[in-house]
């Protein structure tokens, strides 16, 4: 088979599938990307509502997310996803109390110590103990299976972290990074976050906030890049089966796989290699028999799902100057100013209003609560944090719910996450839920897509593909 003859089908147009498709397209493969929904981007998506562009879920990333930032660069989007020049988070509490956690220019982990030493929501004794677990993390290997059996909360408590310290400090970052109540998170995944973000380079935890709606930042940009690479992108194409074996394509020409689509969604495709980049509950029924042990595939159900809810509140006037903030002693976890990014204009929404989105991770208790009840809870909660909101009118209020936002990143989950390779040469897995060592995040998704592409290039595609640099 000649260099450019390798037909690769990528199933799933989230960040994992997009990354794999770009990497394989750049390496010279003939790539087709199949996405069930009418758009690319997967869990990172936007929609239009009454003149606003709304992200279904606010996303952020960190300076240490090197793979994700690499994807942004390939998409030509680096400047639209700026990083803070220094980690800097304002923490609000009801009654106008606030703190600022801002790193210094010192090398990590010293860079956070001055801010933590002044953190007013902990007692002096609690502040004095904060560095204990941070330093203990140095000796913890996130890849050690023993770390995957422990709860982060128990581990913190055993290192002198009071209930208050866990709720008012550690939860601020672990709940949003791992989408699970802080005490319940897998120690292994928490260790990845703490070691990379807190103990790594001093700019590792600097926060990046997209300045464009996610649909533009990822989905639209990926469609343009893939088109330039000559990849075929088919939207609204739901794969119903992957069949393995020597498939006759034309006389004398065979392919390893046939990818079947739903009725009316196009012709089935023959492929030399397949990247299956869909969530675990969708991947399990698509795998051909024998691709992985049946018990392994059944085990994926144990990864479960954890919801994220976003509460969107639009005021008739500005209520805060902060671009984003975290909160403690409040049902609000993190809140973001989305006025500019949503394209909110005075013409549509009255001037000069402000659009705030509250991001609620590990949101099991809110996932099924009606919007009216959430309004009764969250509008007063915002007024407690932002005194100016007390006199402002709420002109719009709506809620977006992602019930399966991530897998449940609890102890034991690490053992259930599969590697990219399967027993079928040419069939590889990708997705933020696979064994990336990272939490279920954009960084994890991009890493998985790169790993899947490398796995194919080191195995079945080496003999058939050249590399276009
Ligand atoms: C509300 C919310 C907030 C989040 N916040 C953050 C954050 O702040 N920072 C961060 O890093 N991460 C965050 N995440 C997590 C992050 O979005 C995900 O980890 C990442 O986007 C997953 O990418 P993926 O490609 O693995 O999967 P997905 O994005 O789920 O993509 C899988 C794709 O496969 C498609 N598909 C499924 N079945 C089929 C089929 N049979 N045929 C064809 N296509 C199919 C789906 O339609 C989907 O587009 C958040 C997630 C949510 C939901």
**Residue 44 Cβ contacting ligand 1 at under 6 Å:** yes
Q: Report the C-alpha gap between 465 and 461 in whole angstroms.
A: 6
448 C-alpha to ligand 1 centroid (Å): 12
> What ranges in 305-422 are assigned the alpha helix state H?
346-349, 371-385, 413-416
Residue whose CB lies within 8 A of the most ligand 1 atoms, among 14, 367, 407, for a mutation test = 14
Spans in the chain with pLDDT lower than 70: 1-5, 246, 248-252, 346-351, 463-469
**Residue 34 Cβ contacting ligand 1 at under 6 Å:** yes
Question: What H or E segment, with its residue span, contains residue 175?
Answer: helix 171-178
pLDDT, position 445? 98
Q: For a pLDDT cut of 90, what percent of the chain falls above it?
A: 84
Q: Report the C-alpha gap between 447 and 432 in whole angstroms.
A: 8
pLDDT, position 304? 97
Phi first, then psi, for residue 449 (nearest 5°) are: -65, -40
**Residue 59 Cβ contacting ligand 1 at under 6 Å:** yes
Q: What is the DSSP string of 303-337?
A: G--EEEEEEEEEESS-----SEEEESSSS--EEEE
Beta sheet of 239-250, edge-to-edge order: 239-250, 253-261, 269-271
**Residue 441 Cβ contacting ligand 1 at under 6 Å:** yes
Q: Report the C-alpha gap between 302 and 300 in whole angstroms.
A: 5
DSSP-derived secondary structure letter, 425? T
397 C-alpha to ligand 1 centroid (Å): 25
pLDDT, position 264? 79
**Residue 409 Cβ contacting ligand 1 at under 6 Å:** no
393 C-alpha to ligand 1 centroid (Å): 34
Q: What is the DSSP string of 116-170?
A: HHH-TTS-HHHHHHTHHHHHHGGG--TTSGGGGGSBHHHHHHTTT--HHHIIIII
pLDDT, position 4? 56
Residue 145, CB half-sphere, CA atoms under 13 Å: how many? 3
Q: Report the C-alpha gap between 365 and 371 in whole angstroms.
A: 13
166 C-alpha to ligand 1 centroid (Å): 29
Sign of the Cα pseudo-torsion (65, 71, 73, 76, in order)? negative
Q: Report the C-alpha gap between 205 and 408 in whole angstroms.
A: 23
The atom of ligand 1 lying closest to the CA of 442 is 11
pLDDT, position 244? 85
pLDDT, position 466? 46
Q: Residue 35: beta bridge partners?
A: 235
């Amino acid at each position: 088979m000649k260099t450019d003859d390798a037909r690769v089908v990528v199933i799933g147009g989230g960040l994992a599938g997009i990354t794999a498709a770009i990497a394989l397209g750049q390496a010279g493969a003939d790539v087709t990307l199949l996405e069930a929904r009418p758009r690319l981007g997967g869990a990172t998506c936007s929609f239009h509502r009454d003149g606003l562009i709304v992200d279904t879920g606010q996303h952020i990333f960190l300076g240490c997310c090197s793979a994700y930032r690499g994807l942004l660069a390939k998409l030509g989007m680096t400047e639209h996803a700026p990083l803070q020049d220094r980690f800097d988070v304002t923490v609000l509490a009801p009654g106008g109390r606030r703190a600022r956690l801002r790193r210094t220019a010192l090398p990590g982990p010293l860079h956070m110590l001055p801010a933590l030493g002044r953190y007013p929501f902990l007692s002096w004794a609690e502040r004095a103990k904060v560095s204990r677990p941070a330093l203990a993390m140095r000796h913890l290997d996130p890849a050690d299976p023993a770390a995957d059996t422990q709860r982060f909360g128990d581990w913190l408590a055993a290192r002198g972290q009071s209930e208050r310290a866990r709720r008012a400090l550690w939860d601020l970052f672990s709940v949003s990074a791992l989408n699970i109540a802080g005490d319940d998170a897998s120690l292994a995944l928490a260790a990845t976050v703490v070691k990379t973000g807190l103990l790594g380079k001093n700019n590792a935890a600097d926060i990046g906030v997209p300045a464009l709606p996610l649909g533009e930042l990822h989905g639209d940009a990926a469609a343009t890049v893939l088109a330039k690479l000559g990849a075929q992108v088919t939207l609204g194409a739901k794969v119903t089966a992957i069949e393995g074996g020597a498939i006759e394509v034309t006389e004398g020409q065979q392919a390893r796989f046939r990818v079947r689509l739903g009725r009316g969604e196009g012709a089935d495709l023959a492929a030399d290699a397949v990247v299956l980049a869909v969530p675990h509950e969708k991947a399990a029924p698509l795998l051909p028999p024998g691709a992985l042990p049946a018990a392994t595939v059944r085990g994926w159900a144990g990864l479960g799902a954890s919801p994220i809810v976003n509460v969107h509140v639009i005021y008739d006037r500005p209520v805060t100057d902060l671009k984003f903030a975290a909160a403690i002693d409040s049902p609000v976890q993190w809140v973001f100013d989305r006025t500019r990014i949503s394209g909110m204009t005075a013409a549509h929404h009255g001037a000069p209003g402000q659009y705030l989105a509250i991001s609620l991770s590990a949101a099991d208790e809110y996932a099924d609560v009606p919007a009216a009840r959430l309004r009764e809870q969250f509008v007063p909660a915002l007024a407690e944090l932002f005194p100016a909101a007390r006199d402002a009118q709420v002109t719009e209020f709506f809620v977006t719910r992602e019930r399966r936002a991530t897998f449940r990143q609890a102890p034991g989950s690490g053992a259930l996450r599969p590697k990219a390779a399967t027993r079928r040469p040419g069939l590889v897995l990708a997705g933020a839920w696979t064994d990336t060592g990272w939490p279920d995040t954009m960084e994890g998704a991009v890493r998985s897509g790169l790993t899947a592409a490398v796995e194919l290039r080191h195995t079945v595609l080496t003999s058939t593909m050249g590399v276009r640099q």
